[in-house]
Amino acid sequence: MKIWRGLAVAGLVVGLGGVAAGRVEAQRLPGGVRPEHYSLTITPDLKAATFAGSETIDVVLDAPSKTITLNAAEIEFGAVKAWAGESATATANAGILRSAQNDNQRGGGAANGASDAQDAVVTLDAAKEQATLTFARTLPAGRVTLAIEYKGILNDKLRGFYLSKTKARRYGVTQFEATDARRAFPSFDEPALKATFDVTLVVDANDTAISNTQIVSDMAGPAPGKHTVVFAQTPRMSTYLVAWLVGDFKCSEGKTDGVAIRVCATPDKVKLTRFALDSAKETLHDYDRYFGIKYPMAKLDLVAVPDFEAGAMENFGCITFRETDLLVDKKAGALAAKKEVAETVAHEMAHQWFGDLVTMEWWDNLWLNEGFATWMETKEAAKAHPKWKYDQDAAVEMDSTMDEDAGRTTRAIRARAETPDEINESFDGIAYGKAGAVIGMVENWVGDEVFRRGVHEYLTEHSYGNATAEDFWNTQARVSGLAVDQMMRSFVEQPGVPLVRFGSGVGEAIPVTQGRFFLAAPTTRPVGNAAWTIPICLKDGGCKLLRPEETMLTGTTGAAFFYANAGDKGYYRTDYSVGQLKAIVANAETKLTVEERIGLLGDRWALMQASEGSVGEFLDLALGVKADPNATVLESALGKIGAIKARIATDGDRKRLDELVRREFGGVYVGLGKGGRHESDENADLRETLFEALGRAGDPKVLAEAVSVTNALLAGQKPADAAVVDAAVALVAAKGDAAMYEKMLRVAQTATDPDLKEDALHTLTRFQAPELVARTLEYAVSDAVRSQDRGTLIARLLSRRETQDQAWAFVEQHWAEIERKATENSGARIVAAAGAFCTVERRDEVVSFFGAHPVASAERALAKSIDSINDCVALRAAQEPELRQWLDAHGGQ
Ligand SMILES: [Zn+2]
């Protein structure tokens, strides 16, 4: 799955995932039963929002038993039978085309053919999402076939088999990860219980159907006005990767390495599929070579779904996406939108090997899926689009992940995940960002080709099966001959970020200490003695493995310039001796890469928040990079100055900080000149970054230009200066009136381009006039907004200082309605956004409100939000006088 990035709150990474309703107890299946094959016939009724299911499951019993327990949720059971031996269809399935009529008789029909078939009594345990089938006569050990007739509902909660709507019609689509296949078919719904699947869909005559594999037969009937679509048998795979979609999809088609690739959307949007198709074709070819294992399915479909909770989902051979993550205008689309699509396609396709072909044994090792896909998406997208700065994005992302991981309430990469709530909450910045960074650190240490060979061996050994963390790092250790197992274990099993401190050294040895870093003042830190095995890679000096007990970094070159995180590939914070730091800062622009400069800024900013260094020292460093030729570095510095304004400064000091930004950066902006046909991308990026920062700081010339750019845009004219359009609209909206709001609302409601629609929707949250904030909040819970977007709109208003009080009052007053109408994920998003408050009063309100109204899958999110508020309060108390002093000394009024 790919986390959807619609919300970025300073210092917070918001974790998403499908969410279960209510609290559910730990509930693994009892074991002793292994499924081998499912035969499913599903007949949806889109109008009634229901479906009928008929399935047979071939299982193997380890011992004789009178009961079999499997997973089922919101399923109404009909006839259930079992008999010893194989089903008639299971052996005949592979490669044989069956008539639609025969096919339709599979489930129940097969049961009639078995002479020793017996009926089951079904007992439901709704809390455990399980059904127990009890039989009068003991079933023998060995092969048993179950035949189950059942009914289910097409829900509106974006999970299981659910309903999605456009203006034109209804669709039935699936999202099973993590634990929702059980809502579509009774199943042994755990990742290690792999089986093969035959899927048959009985749909309306004019409807299309898509599933994991290619269609092997499509015939009219059985009822008038219906047709029956039979899909080829899948390879062995986990239940959470099964998928099907019913409705009216149109596709663009291509082929790579003999594999048919389609990118599909609702008919009005098929024109936006070309870019993703090109990306998918190139990525498939690259991955075939990288993994040294050919893509394991005969076809690959990538399908955009109008209502979709996550960013995308890697169903084997049938990847589903939020529309914004797959559809973009190949010619006119914004660069940011294209980047997102290329990256998401690369992420989900990496899962076809890492996740689908080889799957984690259990959800506690979810990081094996998500960490790898997160790392691979950047590698592949950067290779395909070398000018799009993916490596810089990765450096920015690692910085924010380390901030998230430096809280007291973080978790280890591998952590308990037993209940659906715990499993869903583990789709967070640790499983994605941190695990991805750790994998990148391993590759950087052992070398690209050695790492690739390790990946190939691991995948080959576990193809169509399951694996654990140990399997991965033992293989990498064996192939590389390095202590990858020790290194990875220390990062995967211990929570938190290492801080590595270097002392002044002589010759070839440098004193070094390490410990766990907390983004909090020393007095509030827990004590502990965590230590890691860390490959420390020196600038121009190779990597040295620092073990927990070591206090000297030996074999260093003793060169005058010492920088201990080459390429910004290491997942650790650094602190240097005074002399080392002075040399680094003095040479930052000439000797450090862009990623290293981003890392340096991040480390100093983090140390300041931990009360090591003052806000003034950090501002000196940030102003020192004001003429940096790279926009990402500049943006990083300005973003942190913005955080000082929001989290540390008083109202009076906020004005003085604005003046400082105008004074220091105004000249740099003017020096960049105007945009034009021959402007370099880098210059345009720098101008955009400074335009936005100066506008926020109240620069009158920039604000006047923002108004004229926005007016032209709203009047339907092509913007004269494309680089600053987004920033201009955001700036003007902050002070915008009802007339402008109306225009933006109309775009949000009528745009057919998903990217433009989402931009407009998000721009609504920029308006700060109280009556417009109220309108956006009301709009968020109205039927005009898709349920996947409700929580995001509220969370965005809640995360900004200017609107958070009003948004909080609304949340408190309208909670019942929000809970009822939004997807449960929205609740977790809102809890996370509440962490942007910075007062003791609000903290207490947040604690008591969510104490009284617990939110599913948001237990850790709440703890983190409270942590974050506490840290902000402490930071303000410690640094606010420092800030005033520094501003006094730097000429502010
Ligand atoms: Zn993923």
What is the tens place of the pLDDT at every residue in 823-844? 878 889 999 999 999 999 999 9
How distant, in Å, are the alpha carbons of 239, 404, 494, 518 from that of 409?
A: 32, 9, 13, 10
Identified catalytic residue from 314, 340, 348, 705: 348
C-alpha 473 – ligand 1 centre gap (Å): 20
Token pair for 677: 């046909």
C-alpha 351 – ligand 1 centre gap (Å): 7
Three-state SS at 661: helix
Active site residue 340: no
Residue range 288-307, pLDDT digits in tens: 999 999 999 999 999 999 99
Range 357-382 burial, b when 16+ CB lie within 10 A, else e: bbbbbbbbbbbbbbbbbbbbbbbbbb
Please say if the pLDDT value at position 23 is more than 60.
no
Q: How confident is the model at residue 14 (pLDDT cuts 50, 70, 90)?
A: very low
C-alpha 365 – ligand 1 centre gap (Å): 13
Separation of alpha carbons 491 and 261, rounded Å:
38
Please say whether the beta carbons of 496 and 529 come within 8 A: no
C-alpha 764 – ligand 1 centre gap (Å): 29
C-alpha 296 – ligand 1 centre gap (Å): 18
pLDDT at residue number 411: 94
C-alpha 9 – ligand 1 centre gap (Å): 21
C-alpha 325 – ligand 1 centre gap (Å): 13
C-alpha 367 – ligand 1 centre gap (Å): 9
Q: How confident is the model at residue 523 (pLDDT cuts 50, 70, 90)?
A: confident
CB atoms within 10 A of CB 409: 15
Residues 6+ apart with CB under 8 A from 73: 126, 129, 160, 180, 182, 183
C-alpha 425 – ligand 1 centre gap (Å): 14
Q: What is the pTM of this model?
A: 0.94
Strand order in the sheet with 208-211: 160-165, 170-175, 244-247, 208-211
Please say whether the beta carbons of 38 and 244 come within 8 A: no
C-alpha 346 – ligand 1 centre gap (Å): 10
pLDDT at residue number 558: 62
The residue type found at 878 is A
C-alpha 355 – ligand 1 centre gap (Å): 8
Separation of alpha carbons 602 and 305, rounded Å:
37
Residue range 339-363, pLDDT digits in tens: 999 999 999 999 999 999 999 999 9
Length of the chain: 893
Separation of alpha carbons 190 and 185, rounded Å:
13
Residue range 696-746, pLDDT digits in tens: 999 999 999 999 999 998 888 887 788 899 999 999 999 999 999 999 999
What does the mean pLDDT of the chain come to?
Answer: 92
Token pair for 116: 């020793």
